[in-house]
Amino acid sequence: MTEPTPDTEPACTSNPRVALSLIETAIAGSSPADGKEYLAGLYVKKGELLMELFKDDPDPAHVGMAVQSLERARQLLSRRQHPEAYAEAMFHYGHALLVSADLSASADVGKKALQALSEAASYYTGPKDRMNEAIIAWNAGMAHHLIYAVTGSVPQLAKAQKKFEQAVSILETETEAHTQMPRILFSLASIQDEMAEHTAPVRNRKAAIATYRRALETYEEGSEEWAHTQVRLGASLFELAVKEWDAAYADDIYAAYDKAVQVLTRAAYPERYAEAMHFKAIAATVAAALRKEQRDRDILRSAYNETFSVYTPQTHPREYAESRLAVGRSYRDEDPDSPRCQEQALEAYESVVALKTSDEVLGPQSLAAREIGTLAVKLGGKRKDFIARAHEALDTMLMQKGSLPSEEVDAMLTLMEQLNTLS
């Protein structure tokens, strides 16, 4: 959950715990003569400090106490008598409720956050309030998205999109770029991506791609956020390529992942590096199937080879098995009649079958054994060594037949019968 804050003067020192102690002392020493607005201001500052403390020490108790403090401030203030102080309190109250809703996955708390933010928004309507209006819209968008995530209500997702669009539209009119603009654009693009799963998939996916590209223009190039946005851009382009079944997007996908791993390096972020290379390889698999170019197969294999430095049989057995299986199939599809491709495919399949069997890899192993058997049968009696290797692979997997679906066992038994006629 991102944590946007309003454009108000910070109510904390460089040490939130010290400042919190001072505020609590002030609250304890206050009297009715100080007035409700003064005391409410102390409670607002306390709530802000607790939320600031939560950033460094993510204890949900901090958020709970912040909600209580801001609720107290809300009770002390009158919307008619203290409009500005009331609006500020309601914003912070709404934001704290939003974080609380996120922590508890509660749609009801999310709705309370929306109500508080709506009250704050009713005050920030003037030309000088545009920044706060945009940040409130962003918070409201996140509240709608949280409710969608909990309930699955697509109308809530549509409302989230409108709120993010409102925030972007407001900030675009400002003469100075807002520091939160990249994050708001990223949030909007993510919503557009999700909308593509429900309605107008091509239109929404293209909108998401355009918004990711706008976000990249606002992020500092080479930052971690910039790299993460490149990953999301690549994924969105891939979904569009699959939907339109068009290889024209392949080079843009490759470029997005290549830029991402300039920052998310194997040394610094091994898991994220491998994930990016894995998705690049999958994109190359689709491109190779569509345009039959050797360049895509080379990219596929190179990207998968990069993942093997992280996805090892010991640490990531399923990812390793599925990747090796994909490499084998790339050689199979490159040239079915080439002895070199046949041997490369067979070696890749055998490396999967040879893995220590577990529930994680049993599926890929079964597929690999059947690929070996199919290849040997297709070659007939031309490669006796392939027949022997196919027998070995199928025998190995049939020892696990009690754990395999009956249709997979039947397919392997059929291949064994065919191989026996060739021996």
Q: How many domains does the chain have?
A: 1
> Would you state the pLDDT for residue 5?
47
250 found inside a domain: no
Residue 235 is predicted with a pLDDT of 98
Identify whether the C-beta of residue 86 lies closer than 8 Å to the C-beta of residue 79. yes
Q: By residue range, what is the domain housing residue 415?
A: 311-423
Look at residue 13 in the predicted model and tell me its pLDDT.
Answer: 53
**333-357 average pLDDT score:** 95
pLDDT of residue 1: 35
Q: What is the pLDDT of residue 6?
A: 46
Q: What residues have CB less than 8 Å from 161, skipping those under 6 apart? A: 141, 188, 191, 192, 195
Of residues 385, 411, 387, the one with CA closest to residue 398: 411
Examine residue 375 and state whether it is found in any structural domain, yes or no: yes
Is 371 within the bounds of a domain? Answer: yes
Tell me what the mean pLDDT of segment 190-199 comes to. Answer: 97
Q: Model confidence at 10, in pLDDT bands (50, 70, 90)?
A: very low
Q: Is the pLDDT of residue 269 over 50?
A: yes
Tell whether 421 is covered by a domain: yes
Residue 3: the pLDDT is: 46
Flag whether pLDDT at 8 surpasses 60.
no
* Mean pLDDT, range 180-202, rounded to an integer: 96
In a domain, 199, yes or no: no
* 106 Cβ contact partners less than 8 Å away, ≥ 6 residues apart: 100, 150
Split at pLDDT 50, 70, 90, the class of 177 is: low
Q: CB of 71 within 8 A of CB of 113?
A: no
> Is 40 contained in some domain?
no
- Is position 112 within any domain? no
**pLDDT reported for residue 380:** 86
Residues 17 and 411: their CA atoms lie apart, in Å, by 66
Q: How many other C-beta atoms can be found within 10 angstroms of the C-beta atom of residue 85?
A: 21
User: Which has the minimum average pLDDT: 76-80, 235-239, 273-277?
Assistant: 76-80
Q: In this model, does residue 175 exceed pLDDT 70?
A: no
Cα(173)–Cα(163) distance, integer angstroms: 16
**For position 42, what pLDDT does the model report?**
96
CA angle 111, 106, 114 (to 5 degrees): 20
Residue 282 lies in a domain: no
pLDDT digits (tens, 9 = 90+) for 313-338: 999 999 999 999 999 999 999 998 99
Q: Provide the mean pLDDT of the chain.
A: 93
pLDDT value of position 308: 96
- For 115-147, how does the pLDDT look when each residue is reduced to its tens digit (9 = 90+)? 999 999 999 887 778 889 999 999 999 999 999
Nearest to 209 by CA among 179, 239, 182: 239
More confident position, 13 or 66:
66
Task: Report pLDDT for 399.
Answer: 96
Q: Which two tokens stand for residue 422?
A: 């060739």
- The model's pLDDT over 29-61, given as tens digits with 9 standing for 90+, comes to 999 899 999 999 999 999 999 999 999 999 999
Per residue in 284-297, pLDDT (tens digit) is 999 999 999 999 99
Confidence at residue 12, expressed as pLDDT on a 0 to 100 scale: 42
